[in-house]
Amino acid sequence: MTAHTLTFPISGLHCGACVGRAEAALSALPGAREVRVNLANRTAQVAGVEAPLVETALAQAGYPAAPQQMSLHVPDMSCASCVARIEETAARAPGVIHARANLATHRLDVATLGDPGAVRAALDAAGYPASDADTDTAPDASDETDAMRRRFILAAALTLPVFVAEMGGHLYPPLHHGLVALFGAETLRLAQLILTALVLAGPGAGFFRRGIPGLLRARPDMDALVALGAGAAFLFSAVAVLLPNWLPPTGIYFEAAAVIVTLILLGRWLEARARGRTGEAVRRLLDLAPDTADRVTGQGTETVPLAAIEIGDVLRARPGSRIAVDGVVTDGQSPVDTAMLTGEPVPVLAGPGDVVHAGTVVTTGTLAYRATHVGRDTTLARIAALTQAAQSARLPVEAVVNRVTAWFVPAVLVVATVTFAVWLALAGIGPAVVSAVSVLIIACPCAMGLATPMSIMVGTGRAATLGALFHKGAALQRLQDARVVAFDKTGTLTQGKPALTEVETDMDRARLLRLVAGVEAGSEHPIAQALVAAADSAPEDVAGFEATAGEGARAQVNGHRVLVGNSAYLARHEVAPQPALLESAQRWAETGATPVLVAVDGVHVASLGVSDPLRDGAGAAIAALQETGRHIALISGDVPAAAQHVARILGIDTVIAGVKPEGKVAAIAALRADHGPVAFVGDGINDAPALAAADVGLAVGGATDIAVEAADVVLMSPDPWAVLRAVGMSRATLRNVWQNLVWAFGYNTLLIPVAAGVLVPLGGPQLSPQLAALAMALSSVFVVTNALRLRRWSPS
């Protein structure tokens, strides 16, 4: 990073005093000069200071800088060493705060306070030209795949004659004699030289264009290894043909140079094809939104493109069609298939007042709905954006990989040099060149660089289709490391709204509930609404409604005097409670339910219990989580009786109840100290501090925006089984990462000595440069293919 003059937006400025404080913060930085803060256009200028220091100083002063976020597509990113070099090159551009490259997507994300063009110029100079990445669509590798296929086909066409001329005689000796007799030995050698030169200068030119500058800057990468290996084989053979007196009698290895490039291009093509499939999850999500929608107008309906829909428009969805944008149903009723959002296969009934989301499918009925979120603000678009962001994230394990690969290529160059020297002394220059070239080719660290990002990309994409959005990609690793899963109660393990759960009465239940509904229909209290919802209908013959805050309500319903309230309300109206009914109400109260007493014509006839019912399957989900060896805890702001009751039903041993938001944070710290990393599952505003404080925060379906921002994982379904799916996806992804890493590092460790010829004195084999190139290419293909297995993962 170079300290140039930086001009950038700044927030938090309201007056001249703000300007003074911001300028003071910048001026205090060592080396700062030309400090200017402009209140009119909300910009700041400073020279002589590096961008990260500027960002930190302004953030601490309360006037944060607003760096420009840019995403670039870097097609020539080919290995782990390339990733490191690209990041370092971008980070040195003026104004760059941080740069992060992803080998799986060939994408570079940069935050800068300077000129974005400087980043592109720096990359161009380093041999990695970049273009703007389309952030509104999923990555599509079709263009790259087609280009790589064309390069491979051209290389193969030029290499085939070279290979046949040099190696065909080993398979069928008369072929060699026939070619020599037809063309002459010298002509055959010159033809091989020309064809191989065309391979290296044409389809293989990129290896030299990127690899040689890396060597000259003492930052060799995979392309440098290929350029050295193929270039050494070609130059040695060219000297042997054109200047035969310079070398002792020896063979030529044009076929090695040509086959190396061709096989590596084959591997790149196969890798690009496979990598193109890794973005299918996000592409499928984006494709769920229809291109058009039927908008309701005064004259009927009109078909309009998606971009023309505005908030407030009323749209109509017919059976089998997809909802175009997020909205609220105004008319009609139909089951809606929400599997693409929640991972749940059972359609959800939607009617007036219910929220529907873009991409979901109306199954049997017709719905009219008013648009509430359009474009990038729909839930579908946010899911795609979150998933793409997670796919570009890095896991903590990658830090180890990066440290190893930083030393790996230089170490390979040392091994190749030693190999060349030893074989030169023992067997002459020909075997020395072959052995050194084999080492250089077999050691290309493509598979190492792809091992982690490919698994992340496929794993997060598959998780999105199951309703688990890894908002922050590193949560993939932290979630499987969690030893404790702590749940909030209300809205997480319970449905989050009161419902009638207990009834004890001396009269017909249906008639009782209709009478109660007649009274409570005039109230907006949540408990009243739960009682109304429990009745099959509400009587229309209702008169004299009167409510007493905190106690109850009464009315004349179908000619009967009906009182609904607590024991104090009945006592106020001189109604004596029945001991058995009162005992039931008191017992329910001990479990956290709200008891409601009912009197009809002056007689206590019923006790009702209203509580927040458990979500379906909560008990089975908790038991399944416990079977994974994790400790389960319940942290709730509700009264201890209610929390203990839920915990007893679900089999949760650790209960921390009656705590405020800061108490939840303290509870998480205590659980971490006793058991290890903690995952917390919540949904409300009061859960946001705990979601942020946990090692991994999971916000469940319907969570508030604040909770979603604080969380690491967003679960689109409120079903507690979604937590288990997220944990399972995390474990499967990390297992896949380690499989790839073990393969990539183990493969290189084992085959480098074989390529160097260590086994030859013992009668063992030695890899030829051609076989080394094939093995290296297939190693990368293996890593990508193994990662693609995650697309088929499903909860057991």
Q: Which residues are catalytic?
A: 488
**Cα–Cα distance, 138 to 584 (Å, whole number):** 58
**Cα–Cα distance, 782 to 775 (Å, whole number):** 10
Tokens of 331: 């008319």
DSSP 494: B
Distances (CA, A) of 44 to 1, 37, 207, 247: 19, 4, 43, 66
**Cα–Cα distance, 328 to 312 (Å, whole number):** 10
DSSP 321: P
- H runs (alpha helix) in 466-614: 475-481, 509-520, 526-534, 567-572, 579-589
Burial degree of 136 (CB within 10 A; 0-12, 13-18, 19+)? exposed
* Closest C-alpha among 202, 200, 251 to residue 226: 200
DSSP 177: H
Distances (CA, A) of 748 to 85, 694, 751: 21, 39, 5
For residues 333-344, one letter each, b for 16 or more C-beta atoms within 10 angstroms of the residue's C-beta and e for the rest, the string is ebebbbbbbbbb
**Cα–Cα distance, 232 to 253 (Å, whole number):** 10
Strand-strand pairing, 696-699 and 713-715: parallel
CB 562 within 8 A of CB 519: yes
Distances (CA, A) of 134 to 89, 275, 359, 388: 22, 17, 21, 11
Max CA pair span of the chain: 124
CB 775 within 8 A of CB 446: no
CA atoms within 13 A on the CB side of 466: 25
Burial degree of 577 (CB within 10 A; 0-12, 13-18, 19+)? middle
Please give the distance of CA 714 from its chain centroid, rounded to a whole number: 11
Please give the distance of CA 295 from its chain centroid, rounded to a whole number: 34
* Closest C-alpha among 667, 659, 617 to residue 640: 659
Q: Where are the beta strands (DSSP E) in 306-347?
A: 314-317, 326-331, 334-337
- In DSSP terms, 487 is beta-bridged to 634, 681
Tokens of 433: 């060149």
Tokens of 325: 């944008």
Angle at which helix 173-183 crosses helix 185-201, to 10 degrees, equals: 100
CB 354 within 8 A of CB 328: yes
DSSP 456: H
CB 443 within 8 A of CB 79: no
CA atoms within 13 A on the CB side of 569: 20
The gap between the terminal CA atoms of the chain, to the nearest Å, is 49
**Cα–Cα distance, 536 to 516 (Å, whole number):** 11
**DSSP states of 65-77:** B-PEEEEEE-TT-
**Cα–Cα distance, 438 to 235 (Å, whole number):** 15
**Cα–Cα distance, 768 to 786 (Å, whole number):** 27
Give the number of other Cβ atoms within 10 Å of residue 696's Cβ: 28
